[in-house]
Amino acid sequence: MTTREIKKNIHWVGVVDWNIRDFHGYSTYKGTTYNSFLVMDEKIALVDTVKKPFKQELIDHIRELTDPEKIDYIIVNHVEMDHSGSLPDMIDLIKPEKIFCSPMGHKALLSHFHREDWPYEIVKSGDSISLGKKTVHFLETKMLHWPDSMFSYIPEDKLLISSDAFGQHWSTSERFDDEVDKPELMAHASKYYANILMIFSPNVRKLLEKVAEMGLEIDMIAPDHGLIWRENVGEILESYGRWARQEAKQKAVIVYDTMWKSTETMAKAIYKGLLEEGISIKMMDLKTNHRSDIVNEILDTKAVLFGSPTLNNGMLPSMADLLTYLKGLRPTGKIGAAFGSFGWSGEAVKHINGFMEKMKFDILDPGIKVKNVPIAEDLQKCVELGTKIGQAIKG
Show which residues are catalytic: 24, 78, 80, 82, 145, 164, 192, 225
Which positions ≥6 away from 82 have C-beta within 8 Å?
34, 50, 51, 224
Q: How far apart are CA 90 and CA 276, in angstroms?
A: 60
Contact 383, 354 (CB under 8 A): no
Q: What sign does the dihedral 59-143-182-169 (CA atoms) show?
A: positive
Which positions ≥6 away from 67 have C-beta within 8 Å?
none
State the Cα torsion 96-91-145-21 to the nearest 10°. 140
Query: Which among 372, 280, 356 has a CA at the least distance from the CA of 323?
Result: 356
**What CA–CA distances, in Å, run from 76 to 102, 132, 329, 370?**
8, 20, 26, 55
Q: How far apart are CA 48 and CA 70, in angstroms?
A: 16
Q: How far apart are CA 210 and CA 253, in angstroms?
A: 34
Which positions ≥6 away from 361 have C-beta within 8 Å?
304, 334, 335, 336
Q: How far apart are CA 66 and CA 331, in angstroms?
A: 46
Contact 137, 152 (CB under 8 A): yes
**DSSP, res 178:** G
Characterize 126-149 residue by residue with b for buried, 16 or more Cβ atoms within 10 angstroms of its Cβ, and e for exposed.
ebebebeebebbbbbbbbbbbbbb
